[in-house]
A and B are shown apart, each in its own frame.
Chain A
Amino acid sequence: MEEKKRVGLTDLFLLVVSILYLVLMLTLFRACGAKEDGSFMTCHWAHQTLLVFAGLLIVLSLLHLILGDARRKQGISVAVIAVCFASILIPGHMISLCMMADMRCRKWMVPGNIMLSVVMIAAAALDLFVQMGRAKKMAPPRPPKKP
């Protein structure tokens, strides 16, 4: 069915945002590097975890793009939402950050992470609705459209 293969706006949006998430986390939103003595501050480990999450989100978005079935897409969107919530909880809550509010991790990494995660959550939630509509449409096959 042609309906099945359709790549929706939300598919592309999720993929673009998840790639953007990884890129920004590696650049603008990164935490501090190693200290002069070569040791790391705690924010480094929070950052590493977020990078893993970013990779995970890209894999999920790709799966979302590739899989045609509306119900499977919905499942992946739920997973995306869960991962994003987890990513909001990591820095500062699960893994502690640096002491001062004006340090990189708290000035850039945390706000950036919250912003991108919320955007991803919103996109995935929107996708749940979109896929709900598609699932309904696909259930009783309609007569094919005349070109």
Chain B
Amino acid sequence: MILRTENVTRQYFRQGKGTNVFTALQETSLTIPGGKLIEVMGRSGSGKSTLLNLCAGLLEPTAGKVFLDDTDLYALDDRERSKLRNESFGVIPQGQTGLRSLTVLENVLLPCEMYGISGQEEYALELLERVGIAELSNTYPSELSGGEMRRLSIARALIRKPGVLLADEPTGDLDDENTHIVLGMFRRFAEEGMAVLLVTHETEAAEYADEVYRMEKGVLTRQDAE
């Protein structure tokens, strides 16, 4: 699968004084092919999360288009786009992202439950095993540490076997050891054929990436991967 943005721009209209338009992302074109890990680096507020949300079909661009293979994401209506996101996108959002009323296992199964897909318990446990928190499957998110929560997010993002994986600051609250474990996983996912977009402000990630971009004030520039 290939995820491609075509001159996407996103502007925010701030409420209040007159026409206060803030451009978070300027005409950006980026291609994320399957099998590659693309990293976008930048300070917070540089527009990188905006780019990721646009890619995920969560944020409508002010101009430009986003394609998954040949499908124009924003030509679909909300229901179709949501279904596509459920089937083809694994998104790991920023911060603590567990539904507190569900156990770890139920959280991982959430994307399946949502569309009435059953019989995925074994695969979910396998994923939890893979991210190393299988023994926590019956606990609730409030009892998890930051690193454990992050792995829960990863397992949930993978449950539908998506072609595209989008991760927003996935190592933000992790220690060094865990950071490398998680980044190593993403590397493996890419090698297994997924199109992976990693958005971060940390430099450690560069060594795992195939291509590295830098985002500054909404402008994306290519950097040479080391």
Contact = CB atoms under 8 A, between A and B. Distances in A.
Complex: A in contact with B (CB within 8 Å) = yes
Interface string A60-75: 0000000000000000
Nearest to B138: A145
Contacts of A38: none
B219 interface: no
A140 interface: no
B31 interface: no
- By secondary structure, the B interface counts as helix
B2 interface: no
Contacts of B135: 143, 146
Contacts, number: 10
A143 B143 CA distance: 17
Nearest to B103: A145
A137 to B, nearest CB: 12
A143 B105 CA distance: 13
Interface residues of A, number: 4
Nearest to A143: B138
Interface bracket on B: under 10
Contacts of B139: 145-146
Contacts of A145: 138-139
Interface in B101-140: 135-136, 138-139
Contacts of A136: none
A35 interface: no
A29 B92 CA distance: 63
Contacts of A143: 135, 138
A93 interface: no
Nearest to A146: B139
Contacts of B136: 146
A146 B143 CA distance: 9
Given A143-B138, A146-B138, 8 more contacts: A142-B138, A143-B135, A145-B138, A145-B139, A146-B135, A146-B136, A146-B139, A146-B143
Closest 9 CB pairs of A and B: A146-B139, A145-B138, A146-B136, A143-B138, A145-B139, A142-B138, A146-B135, A146-B143, A146-B138
10 contacts: A142-B138, A143-B135, A143-B138, A145-B138, A145-B139, A146-B135, A146-B136, A146-B138, A146-B139, A146-B143
